[in-house]
Amino acid sequence: MRPFVYDRATSVEEAIKAALALAKKPAGTAAAGPVNFLAGGTTLIDLMKLDVMRPERVIDINPLERAGRQGRIEASPQSLWLGGLVRMADVMRHPEVARDYPVIVQSLAFAASAQLRNMASLAGNVLQRTRCSYFRDTSWAACNKRDPGSGCAALDGVNRPHAVLGVSDHCIATYPGDFAQALIALDAKVEIAGVGGMRRIPFADLHRRPGDAPHIETVLQPGDLITGFEIPAAPWTRRSLYLKVRDRQSYEFALASAAVALDLAEGVVRGARIALGGVATVPWRAREAEAALAGKPLDEAAAKAAADAAFADATPRQHNAYKVPLGKATLARALMQAGSMEI
Amino acid sequence: MSAAAPEPKANMGPPEPRIDGRLKVTGQARYPADVPVSNPLYAYLVTSAIARGRITSFDLGAARGVPGVADILTHENTHGDVKQPKFFADGGYASTSIRPLDSAQIWHDGQIIALVLAETYEAAREAAHRVKVNYVEETPTATFDDAGASTQLAKEARKTHEDPEVGNFDEAFRTAEVKLDEWYSTPTQHHNAMELFATTCAWAGPQLTIYEPSQFVYGLQNGVAEQLGIDPEHIRVVSTFIGGAFGSKGSTTPRTALVAIAARRLGRPVKLVATRDQGFTIATYRAETRHHLRLGAARDGKLVALSHEGWEVTSRPDAYMVSGTDTTSRMYAVPNVATNVSIVHADRNTPGFMRSPPETPYMYALESAMDELAVKLAMDPVELRRTNDTMKEPIKGLPYTSRSLMQCFEEASRTFGWSKRNPQPGSMRDGDWLIGWGCATACYPTHIAPATARVRLTPDGEARVETAAHDIGTGTYTVIGQVVAEKLGLPLEKVAVLLGDSQLPPAPVSGGSNVTASVCTVVAKACDAIRSRLGNPNAAELMDALKRQGAGAIEEYAENVSNGPPPESLPLLYKGAVKMAGGATLKDRIQYAFGAEFVEVRVHALTREIRVPRAVGAFAAGRIMNTRTAHSQLMGGMVWGIASALHEATEIDRRAARYVNDNFADYLVPVNADVNQLDVILVSEEDTKVNPLGIKGLGELGNVGTAAAVANAVFHATGRRVRDLPIRIDALLA
């Protein structure tokens, strides 16, 4: 860990101003640049100790929890608001979210450990960085995400945990989170405070695929601060779930996961929202699978056809080819389970 | 009484709670890294990023510029300060003959190449991250099958090695009615004790005190003395509490001498707590193994031929091997046996002892093969073991001192409900979950080593026992206290037990599950000497006799060497060398503890996740000193066994010969959710031949056999035989 300046923000505006003071890096590198916001610290502090992240300034935004909507959960008939500084555990315990948006609660409940969920903020959670071992250990020279242009040790290395969707020749690091899958499936919007004030963008536009610049993970600009998420109420949110398949039963990242939300009428799919985790480089909306299901009776064959569609463009490597059949099985199982939910 | 504190049966001691338990759960137990020293410097290791080659230069400018940095040790300024250590298997104390910081040569990934010393841990860490190293890299060899791997027969690598054999395997196997011929493998695994590898060294003139978690304080004392070229009398090792060890803290690792020379050079105490990932390369591990099993049997299930060939990875310079064929060749009644062990040298750190070193991988292979044979014979796997059960080992015909294997199978299978098993694979199902039931034999050799102890009894009714044994979480403090309390007729709380200090009378390494037998025996001997000096009154009148004598306290120092180890092994103990005896190494008998383990797995029909809802183990290990600590050891072993079947594996980047998942997030050990119903049954057994108290160590018994039982259950659930551990989702998908 390198020495850094520690600031405590007293307002959103001030936090942004402080962040901009040192910002020199190009857009999208907010998470890797010289300034980092600190909320739960469950990713940042870890990576600072490993010398992977070396911020010069850390701005503690926890004081903003009680100001504005950042620390609030607000449920209305039209939508659900989840503030960026709300802790994962607080959402899990919220009865209305549990009733109306089970996929959100489950995606949080199956993540991390109780201790981490008590600390980690929602905004920090969606920005958590990959678990790729070659990224997290600086003794590996080749990592385009950590050191642009240095190569990718994972391409032909131990890549059992790596992604098969959204990959490039420059990076196959898996997006590790769970909550983001629920957000992207439910057409959430993310609210961002920045230099020009507040703006809202589709959550689906927040993350960038690695392409030839895997070090740029989001569209966030220097000074941008995620203040919360808005999830529109929709006919499919109650019939929703998150299925997470992993090597051990708890406290572990997904090998494959599926967030599904279904609007069923007489067993026929009127609307389906599907996202995949553990298999892709970014939170992954499976629109091909949704299209394959639309208007069809939900049965095993339809679920399997949708799963096939979701993985049609998968690009496996030496050790992660299993993620294609596993990802398909996970999605098919999630769809069948959602179909049989009592709501 | 409860599941954790079982009611003692015949030949079992009471479930006394651990006498150090309160200290541990209230944070008052001081582990070596917790011991405060005056004005210390903090050390942080720099380790190599390549597995083979040479360091051409260091760029230390940026590191030295970090405020608070006192010094940086590299081979350039410490060459020759540490003497060449002798590998323990060659008669020395060291976990490896590799001597870091002596030359520019790199033998393995993560080798210590520099030691940064600073006023704070944080400064030392920052400076270590700023050290730049230039290497000339050579293409390394990671493991089996990689270019440059050199294979050596065990008997060539080590003159004393014998490959057990009897009869004519080739002929018997050729003509056997039913044959099995399969290959199995086990992965690299690391101990990953909760407590990190830590060392504090403090000099006072010529006197060095080392605070380090150790399974053998006399070994460490003498090993470091050898490496520093000083008199062992000038070294004291203190290791009062140990936060898990599992074999990793038994031999002298290179870090200790380096911390000692740093402390001497800078004239201040130096404290090192290595990181979790450094622990993967600066100490030892369980190397990956391969096995070729051939079993021949008659139609009735009687074994006629057994061949077990094993291959084990080791480092370039050291011939480490576990050779579990000593055990697998003797488990069952089979008249024709051939065995063979080879080691494969690669560019790796030297492996070492890890909980039941030989039995864990080798019994996994044998017990998997036995299950496969049972399928071929259409025979119940328990019946196959019964058919081949024996009270004489087949190689030399030596008698087992006791062997309650089938009693264990009977008790465990009854509790498990084995009779309800439908043998057809894939036939038992609960909704989307496929159910599988499997079982396997557990065993561990019974050892004893020479030991010494001092016991003092005072007229106010208090006793103190001193011996340089160790409590690595096993319950040593408690069982030793129980022996004294019982022998001297005192309440347990009146007995003070002092362990883990090389200034105490020597005791053997906490390895090979020998300690309870070795140390309780000598402590009992010292107590008997006290009783004898008082005219052998019964326990209730002992204190009266002492007071009548009016001579104050009585102290007795006892030495014991019995039941196997030669008399000359006793003076060797004072020099930190251990000659334990037992298992299959004795001339007139063979002695093992046994168990039977049953496991239920559930495999999801679609996504193939593997769960273990319940497991039952029954174990017979002679005299049980304390049913609570015994239960805990066996339960922990079974948890480990489940982990070794389903979770634990160190991943190696084959190109670089480097460990990849060297942290607790990526090296998976089970969490509570992975371990559900675990039943441990203690089976009564008496064995008067193993040692005077009839104790068979059981610390390493519980995790043997579990992995095979899990694998056999996975086969029963799915019809798919996975022979390479760990068994993960990948292996069970279409």
Q: Which of A158, A252, A255 sits opposite B660 (nearest CB)?
A: A158
For residue A148, being part of any structural domain is answered with no
Place of tokens 């003498």: B222
CA separation for the pair B3, B454 (Å, rounded):
35
Q: What is the DSSP letter of A211?
A: T
**What single letter denotes the amino acid at residue B605?**
A
CB atoms within 10 A of CB B352: 26
A240 closest CA partner among A123, A98, A137: A98
B570 Cα distance to chain centroid: 23
Q: Which two tokens stand for residue A291?
A: 């299209």
Same domain, B590 and B489: no
Q: Are residues B534 and B597 part of one domain? A: no
Same domain, yes or no: B572 and B681? no
Could you tell me if B171 and B336 are in contact, meaning their C-beta atoms sit under 8 angstroms apart? yes
Place of tokens 């395997």: B169
How far CA B476 is from CA of B18, B498, B499, B591, B599, in Å, comes to 9, 10, 9, 22, 29
From the list B129, B655, B665, which residue is nearest A157 (CB)?
A: B655
Q: In this structure, which amino acid lies at residue B501?
A: D
Does residue A214 lie in a domain region?
A: no
Residue B358, both tokens: 């030989």
**pLDDT score of A30:** 42
CB contact under 8 A, A248 and B665: no
Category of B174 on φ-ψ map: left (φ > 0), alpha (ψ -120 to 50) or beta: alpha
Tell me the HSE value of A170 on the side-chain side, using a 13 A CA sphere.
15
For residues B442 and B590, state if they share a domain: yes
* Residue whose C-alpha is closest to residue B647's, from B674, B673, B672: B674
Is B616 in the same domain as B480?
no
Q: Enumerate the residues of chain A whose CB falls inside 8 A of the CB of residue B613.
A: none
What pLDDT was estimated at residue B549?
85
- Considering only CB atoms, A248 lies closest to which of B122, B651, B670, namely B670
Same domain, B460 and B575: yes
B527 and B438 housed in the same domain: no
Last residue within a domain, chosen from A40, A63, A86: A63
Regarding whether B600 and B720 lie in a shared domain, the answer is yes
Supply the pLDDT for residue B390.
Answer: 98
Average pLDDT of A158-173? 98
**Using a CB-CB distance cutoff of 8 angstroms, which residues of chain B are in contact with residue A251?**
671, 673
Query: How does DSSP classify residue A207?
Result: B
Q: pLDDT (tens digit, 9 = 90+) per residue, A228-259?
A: 999 999 999 999 999 999 999 999 999 999 99
- The number of beta carbons lying within 10 Å of the beta carbon of residue B95 is 29
Measured between beta carbons, the chain A residues lying within 8 angstroms of B275 are none
Q: Do A248 and B125 touch (CB under 8 A)?
A: no
Q: Pull the structure tokens for residue B682.
A: 């203690």
CA atoms within 13 A on the CB side of B72: 29
Between CA B306 and CA B294 the distance in angstroms is 6
Give the domain CATH number at B624. Answer: 3.30.365.10
CATH label of the domain that carries residue A320: 3.30.390.50
- pLDDT of the residue at B193: 97
- Per residue in B531-541, pLDDT tens? 999 999 988 88
Q: Is the dihedral angle over the CA atoms A255, A261, A265, A268 positive or is it negative?
A: negative
Distance, C-alpha A219 to centroid of its chain = 14
**Buried b / exposed e across A300-323, counting CB within 10 Å, b at 16+?**
eebbbbbbbbbbeebebbebbbbb
pLDDT of residue A26: 52
Element containing residue B479 per DSSP (H, E):
helix B476-488
* 8 A C-beta contact, residue B453 and residue B519: yes
Question: Exposed (0-12), middle (13-18) or buried (19+): which is B639, by Cβ within 10 Å?
Answer: buried
CA dist A41 and A34 (Å) reads 16
Is residue A118 assigned to a domain? no
- How far apart CA B636 and CA B550 sit, in angstroms, is 48
Strand partners, B724: B185
Confidence of residue A33 (pLDDT cuts 50, 70, 90): low
Full residue range of the structural domain in which residue B397 is found: 1-30+358-446+583-734
B701 lies in a domain? yes
Q: Which residues are CB-neighbours of B420 under 8 A, at least 6 positions away?
A: none
Cα distances from B410 to residues B374, B600, B708, in angstroms, run 18, 17, 18
Q: Return averaged pLDDT per consecutive 10 residues of chain B, 734 residues in all.
A: 94 97 96 97 98 98 98 96 96 97 97 98 97 98 98 96 98 98 98 98 98 98 98 98 97 98 98 98 98 98 98 98 98 98 98 98 98 98 98 98 98 98 97 98 98 97 98 97 97 98 98 97 98 92 89 95 96 95 96 98 98 98 98 98 98 98 96 96 97 97 98 98 98 89
Residue ending a domain, among A19, A39, A63, is A63
Please indicate, yes or no, if residue B393 is contained in any of the structural domains. yes
B408 and B434: one domain? yes
> B108 touching A, CB under 8 A?
no
Count: domains in chain A: 2
Supply the DSSP string of A310-323, one letter for each residue: HTTT----TTTTTH
**Bridge partner residues of A87 (DSSP):** A121
For residue B74, give both structure tokens. 């590299």
**Does residue B713 share a domain with residue B671?**
yes
Residue A338 dihedral angles phi and psi, to the nearest 5°: -65, -40
pLDDT of residue A24: 56
CA separation for the pair A11, A1 (Å, rounded): 27
B217-228 vs B254-266: helix crossing angle, rounded to 10: 60
- With a cut of 0.90, is the ipTM above it? yes
The count of structural domains within chain B is 2
Residue A106 phi/psi, 5-degree rounding, is -70, -40
Residue A281 lies in a domain: yes
Collect all residues with Cβ–Cβ distance below 8 Å to B4 and sequence separation of at least 6: B15, B628, B631, B632
* pLDDT band at A31; cut points 50, 70, 90: very low
| CA nearest to A112 within chain B | B665
Q: Do A3 and B671 touch (CB under 8 A)?
A: no
Sequential DSSP letters for B678-716:
EEEEEPP---SSSSTT-B---TTTTTTTHHHHHHHHHHH
**Do B374 and B424 fall within a single domain?**
yes
Give catalytic status of residue B383 as yes or no: no
Residue B215 lies in a domain: no
* Residue of B288, B411, B648, B700 marked catalytic: B700
Tell me, what's the pLDDT at B539?
84
Chain-wide mean pLDDT for chain B?
97
The domain boundary, picked from B559, B580, B601, lies at B580
Domain that holds residue A22: 5-63
The answer to whether the CB of A34 falls within 8 A of the CB of A58 is no
Chain A residues touching B276 at Cβ < 8 A: none
Residue where a domain terminates, one of B580, B595, B618: B580
Please provide the average confidence, as pLDDT, over all residues in chain A.
Answer: 95
3-class state of residue B180 by DSSP: strand
Q: Is residue B377 part of a domain?
A: yes
CB B359 within 8 A of CB B327: yes
- Measured between beta carbons, the chain A residues lying within 8 angstroms of B432 are 333
Q: How far apart are CA A285 and CA A269, in angstroms?
A: 17
Region for residue B521 given its phi and psi (left: phi exceeds 0; alpha: psi -120 to 50; beta: otherwise): alpha
Q: Does one domain contain both B573 and B607?
A: no
Q: Which of B556, B580, B604 is the last residue of a domain?
A: B580
SS3 A279: coil
A 67-126 → B contacts, CB under 8 A? none
Q: Does A159 touch chain B (CB under 8 A)?
A: no
CATH of the domain at A24: 3.30.43.10
**Full DSSP string of B269-326:** -EEEE--HHHHHHHS--BPPEEEEEEEEE-TTS-EEEEEEEEEEEE-SS------THH
For A137, which residue in chain B has the nearest alpha carbon?
Answer: B660
Which of A6, A133, A155 is the best mutation test for B, with the most CBs of B within 10 A?
A133
Whether the CB-CB separation of B217 and B246 falls below 8 Å is answered with no
pLDDT of A343 over the 90 cut: no
What is the maximal distance between C-alpha atoms in chain A?
A: 61
